[in-house]
A and B are shown apart, each in its own frame.
Chain A
């Protein structure tokens, strides 16, 4: 009885997360409708407090509307989160599948490479990569992908090793089907659930990573992002707290929603997790 109740509570979390994400997606999609002017425009007097002159969340040191910044920032955060996760998945699934399916020396070598990337402090590596290739959408997505693929590779490799030994895969091999066909049609679909769960968590950490880079001034200078607004508000926090506070709340809620959704997905896709080893 208790287990069922808890599962419901958890589902409620996942549901809440999903609804909130839908709202963020809508905000991103309709940013240009809600705020027809560019978020970079100096719409009002600098340092207008929240609620005055029609600025719901106030303005920053140049008189830019913080609310507009958050709406347009949602686009950037979601875009970077999604694209960099896809890129990380491409690297991670590719290498993990190769290692898990091939085994032997290839597996060994690929796992050494994976370990190597897990050893380097990931945030510092991302900072160095973005700085060297100068901040742009491409370099940020690339850097996030490069520091976040190793867990994918490990999970995929483990799944492939297990699945490869299963009867239905061996049966397919005996039938003489091509490797590509076996990997794509037999193994990959069965390895998908943990990858999906992992992906939703990776979008969350990608959003966090992007905001940290932007905060340090390593964001794409053409894209209004949440981390950028916080970074630009830092030095004037004594004059205008609202510039740093609201975008932070936006990041927090979005990341939280993604985490809740990821956990909900994990439980739905893997009944074993209902036993309570939730992480």
Chain B
């Protein structure tokens, strides 16, 4: 990957032009040239509370906000960095100094010039204050300077190979310093009228009904964006959304807009394309979380038995109607450093029972070996079904689950207080195991906060491998460490990985270049066109 970066740097010098040409060439090869004009009708669920990235990082906010704001870089489906507001970058030999050369001629929507000051403000002030994810990484920035208005130099205390991944718009959006400096970012009056550098600007937002974006005429890529604008309709009911897609009133849906059980009928429609790509940056991985502090879950044989008792194919096909993939490793298959050879415990209830016998947990009255509490994930119907499936599957090997249901607040607070035996959880992986996987397994992150190592798994070997991979400057040694840690974790089963979620993007076939990035519909859409 070290070589990769240099190669990419070379490309990056003339990156923009080359990239633009390549796209057009591809399209022309397919007999379709980018066409200017047209309004894209889409849908947004739920309606975002605000469009200011950083202040709110939820998926709907990201989907709309990513058209208005941009990051320094964007990432391909294989998570290679591509130039955006930074037209090129260099990394020092010791991997601690990052120099970004900014795109010239970039304007904010209010006409002000975009400069290195904005970049430093966005990184060191805005996102440091608002975003826990950015804070964790950017805390290790020793200095941030701007030798000239078009150059930014960031110096790290130690090497951090996944550092560039933090410069996608979904992690660190560039915000206008002249609007936000010295104000309370959450309550700034300009939060109603977002000012970004993106290809689209807010035209009209009728709360509860639609958000309309229009083309920013002074966008820095000449001739782009192709679309005149984008309308995001607010349709709270999933059946109404499905109907609107079916009748052609909307041309694009994403995320959870369409329920899994409706996907099969849209697959059959010839005018629509369904893509499951575009979630590589996030690669949400769902698992059955086991509280390792609770007996007998502290016994690795019991955890392995549970893993053997679950039919992941059934879950992916019957509950998610084929829109999810069985998990094969703690590192999602779409994330960097996933070991393609990794595989989890096979579905084998007999072996599961043998393991439980071996652990001395013999069946008692009614065939029950022991009873655990199971906290349902309150994120909708399919998750409830999943919990019910798991109870039935574990019931077959003699583990009785007592279900507890709660609301999102109750769930988060029970998780942060470690007050559960088993539950369902799913986390984004953010493209690199150090950013999105490590947090769930290292003992230094055993905290009374959600989305940390709440299961309380602690293994010095795992800690050491993650720590080594975190600061290792080169790809090869990181790969070695991550492959080792995957093997170790799979054997140890701190949690039982279930499925990799993919949220299908469905669009009319007349809409082109929708999913070209690892962030999918959270890209800036400056090259999307209708033809």
Contacts and interface: CB of A to CB of B under 8 A. Distances in A.
A–B touch (CB < 8 A): the answer is yes
Interface of A: 38, 40-42, 46, 61-62, 131, 134-136, 217, 221-222, 232, 235-236, 239
A101 to B, nearest CB: 42
B376 A221 contact: yes
B192 interface: no
Contacts of A232: 381, 384-385
B403 A42 contact: no
Contact of B406 (A38, A134, A236, A239): A134
B407 A131 contact: yes
Contacts of A62: 318-319, 385, 388-389, 392
B6 to A, nearest CB: 52
A221 B261 contact: no
Contacts, number: 48
A153 to B, nearest CB: 32
Contacts of A239: 261
Interface residues of B, number: 21
Nearest to A46: B318
Contacts of B406: 134
Given A61-B318, A135-B405, A217-B384, A236 B261 contact: yes
Contacts of B376: 221
A42 B404 contact: no
A40 B318 contact: no
Given A62-B385, A239-B261, A38 B405 contact: no
Nearest to B311: A42
A164 B389 CA distance: 59
Given A46-B318, A62-B389, A221 B381 contact: no
B391 A40 contact: yes
8 interchain residue pairs of minimum CB distance? A221-B403, A221-B405, A222-B403, A134-B406, A135-B405, A42-B392, A40-B392, A41-B392
Chain B interface SS verdict (over half): helix
A218 B333 CA distance: 36
Contacts of B208: none
B77 interface: no
Nearest to A135: B405
Interface string B358-399: 000000000000000000100001001101110110010000
B363 to A, nearest CB: 15
Nearest to B402: A222
B264 to A, nearest CB: 10
Nearest to A222: B403
B405 A40 contact: no
Contacts of B387: 221
Contacts of A135: 405
B117 interface: no
A239 B319 CA distance: 14
Contacts of B385: 61-62, 232
Contacts of B80: none
Interface string B306-338: 000000000000110000000000000000000
> Looking at B387, B389, B403, which has the most chain A CB atoms within 10 Å of its CB?
B403
B318 A134 contact: no
B259 A235 contact: yes
Contact of B389 (A42, A217, A222): A42
A104 B388 CA distance: 54
6 contacts: A134-B407, A134-B410, A217-B384, A221-B387, A232-B384, A236-B261
Contacts of B389: 42, 62
Given A41-B395, A62-B388, A134 B381 contact: no
Interface string B401-424: 011111100100000000000000
A134 to B, nearest CB: 5
Nearest to B393: A42
Contacts of A46: 318
A107 B96 CA distance: 79
A239 B261 CA distance: 10
